[in-house]
Amino acid sequence: MGEVVLVISGASGAAYGVRLAEILGKDVRLVVTDSGRLTMTHECDGLTPEALVEKTGAILENNKDIGAKSASGSAPIDAVIICPCSGTTIGKLAAGIGDNLATRSAIVAMKERRKLIIVPREAPYATVHLENMAKLSGWGVTVIPASPGFYNLPKTMDDLIDFVVSRILDHLDRENNLTKRWTGDELK
């Protein structure tokens, strides 16, 4: 398995990206937008991107460093995941704008036909968000909403976070047992 670029942008739900970073460990090149830094610190008990990479062994890249490896078309990068993904970043991608390392890495993933997964969170969605997501989906981007299912009867916030993270890992082809798999017998 090669490296993956994990972008944490400024939508609410930084905990999903943090959990993903913890699981993927040193395989991650982490890019955090300015707003992503704010939400992470606010929502995750003062956590900073620097403290996160210290814990996980990931490499932290500077979102202003447009020449960093995450944006390379020739480096062996398996996938780019934007988790959580803000409506702003979705709009930029739908318009082909790669004005920072986060958006540029995602645009490079599209042009190189790499896996690109976005995990949007907004409520409600504006029509522009929905149209942009439909556009991205039509271009091969995987859209996994930050909407945990409740059919596994979650008990804790960690259960809810792991539900979404498990679906992301599935789409990265990373084996995981974060949640129970639906067997078909549950309702019988």
Ligand X SMILES: Cc1cc2nc3c(=O)[nH]c(=O)nc-3n(C[C@H](O)[C@H](O)[C@H](O)COP(=O)(O)O)c2cc1C
Where does this chain bind ligand X (CB under 6 A)? 9-12, 33, 35-36, 38-39, 42, 86-89, 121-122
CA distance 124 to 104: 27
CA within 13 Å, CB half, 81: 30
Q: Tell me the closest approach of the beta carbon of residue 183 to ligand X, in angstroms.
A: 33
Contact predicate 97/66, CB 8 Å: no
| CA pair distance 138, 169, nearest whole angstrom | 21
Closest approach of Cβ 87 to ligand X, in Å?
4
The rounded distance, in Å, linking the Cα atoms of 115 and 134 is 17
Nearer to ligand X, 77 or 133 (CB): 133
Nearest distance from C-beta of residue 115 to ligand X, angstroms: 20
Shorter beta-carbon distance to ligand X: residue 46 or 76: 46
DSSP tag of 26: G
User: Which residue type, as a one-letter code, is found at position 67?
Assistant: G
- Using Cβ positions, the residue closest to ligand X within the complex turns out to be 10
Question: Residue 130 Cβ, how far from ligand X at the closest point, in Å?
Answer: 13
Residue with smaller CB distance to ligand X, 125 or 152: 125
* Closer Cβ to ligand X, 33 or 166, answer by number: 33
